[in-house]
Amino acid sequence: MKRFLGFVKKEFLHIFRDFRTLIIIFLIPAAEILLFGFIVTTDLRNANIGILDLSHDEITRQLSDKICSSGFFIKSEDLLNYSEIDRELRKNKIKAVVIFENGFGRKLISEGKAVMNIIADGSEPNMASLVTNYITAITADFNSGLIQKPGSGNILVRSEVRMFYNPSLKGHFMFVPGVITIIMTLVCALMTSITITREKEYGTMEVLLVSPLKPVQIIVGKVIPYFILSIADAILILILSWFVFGLPVKGSIILLLAELMLYILMSLSVGIMISTVSKTMQQAIFITLVGLLLPTILLSGFIFPLENMPLGYEWFSMLFPPRYFITVIKNIMIKGTGLLYVWKETLILIFFTAVSIWFSIRNFRIRLN
């Protein structure tokens, strides 16, 4: 028994001396519970909306204030006319627009009812449903307050909802861009993350070391096959999305393919960067799956709206390129926008790509340690 207890003690010591094992046992579970606890939520908070008030009367001001002071919405824009609605929604500045028709208050008092229109961004079906449901609920509460006022009679503010870009709120419009991002991350980053570590493990690194190739040439040579195959994979996904799910490309196909190539190159460079710092294939796979795949699903806005996250998580999500690529691909495929609306995200992806390539070349070891 004493011998067995000594063996158990030795195993404990081995575990506590291995920093990587401690990370797997303690840090990752703690990080996951914090991520899932704060991000996986159906609550709505701080959603940006626009107000188009063509009436400018006391009732529209009261209802606008009630919506914006509820804690669920932030009034981002005061629109002046209908032509600004599509432009602001395409810029992703707002999630919905509340429209009060001309003579809203007068019609409510004289006719007993008035129509408040809600136009939401249907390219994000879950978010659009949340926004419209919350605004409708706030309007119903406002109606209850009006009815309770003496001499008000039966007056009613009726809300009519319209969805831009995805009128029927099909789920394909949400998950196809996200799935494209996840697949590109898996195929590109995961496959390339093991390419150099495989050379180390299989003992074929010596062949590369004695070759006249420079580090840059070795890295580019390993990236090119995956780059070509990933482009073919992306085109296949787009074709299947079109014919199977009925999701056409409303914007420029050339621009979409260019953005896909940029993201593929960025993912490949991240994979190479991971492979240069990993000693084994298992380590490279672990870093890729935990460091890239999990944030892609949780922090990119693919499933859970970024606006619903606590402020710290929203800032943290800015460190992950999938957040920007999903915005780009939704704008081009679903909203039909051009480079004018996605140039910021494109520049950020170019920056991530340049940094990853520089770091990969810098960390590539031309001789075995």
pLDDT at 367: 45
Instruction: Give the domain ranges of the chain.
Output: 47-164, 172-363
State the pLDDT confidence band at 346, using cuts at 50, 70 and 90: very high
Asked whether residue 175 carries a pLDDT value surpassing 80, the answer given is: no
3-state DSSP assignment of residue 291: helix
Query: Mean pLDDT lowest for which of 60-74, 251-265, 284-298?
Result: 284-298
- DSSP assignments along 3-61, one per residue: HHHHHHHHHHHHHHH-HHHHIIIIIHHHHHHHHHHHHS-----SEEEEEEESS--HHHH
pLDDT at 258: 93
C-alpha distance from residue 344 to each of 50, 166, 324 (Å): 22, 24, 9
Which is more confident, 18 or 45? Answer: 45
Q: What are the structure tokens assigned to 42, written together?
A: 């159906």
Measured between alpha carbons, how far is 64 from 99 in angstroms, rounded to an integer? 10
> What confidence tens digit (pLDDT) does each residue in 1-13 have?
777 677 677 666 7
Question: Helical H runs in 156-252?
Answer: 172-184, 191-193, 195-202, 205-210, 215-245
> What confidence tens digit (pLDDT) does each residue in 91-143 have?
888 899 999 988 888 888 888 888 899 999 988 888 888 899 999 999 888 88
Q: Which residues lie below 8 Å from residue 65, measured CB to CB, with a gap of 6+?
A: none
pLDDT at 198: 77
Measured between alpha carbons, how far is 238 from 240 in angstroms, rounded to an integer? 5
Phi, psi of 115 (to 5 degrees): -105, 125
State the pLDDT confidence band at 279, using cuts at 50, 70 and 90: confident
Would you say 343 and 333 are in contact if contact means Cβ atoms under 8 Å apart? no
Reference 70, options 43, 88, 39; nearest CA is: 43
Measured between alpha carbons, how far is 92 from 170 in angstroms, rounded to an integer? 19
Asked whether residue 20 carries a pLDDT value surpassing 70, the answer given is: no
pLDDT at 368: 43
State the pLDDT confidence band at 180, using cuts at 50, 70 and 90: confident
C-alpha distance from residue 197 to each of 27, 282, 326 (Å): 25, 9, 30
pLDDT at 351: 94
CATH match for 47-164 among 3.40.1710.10, 1.10.3720.10, 3.30.360.10, 3.40.50.300: 3.40.1710.10
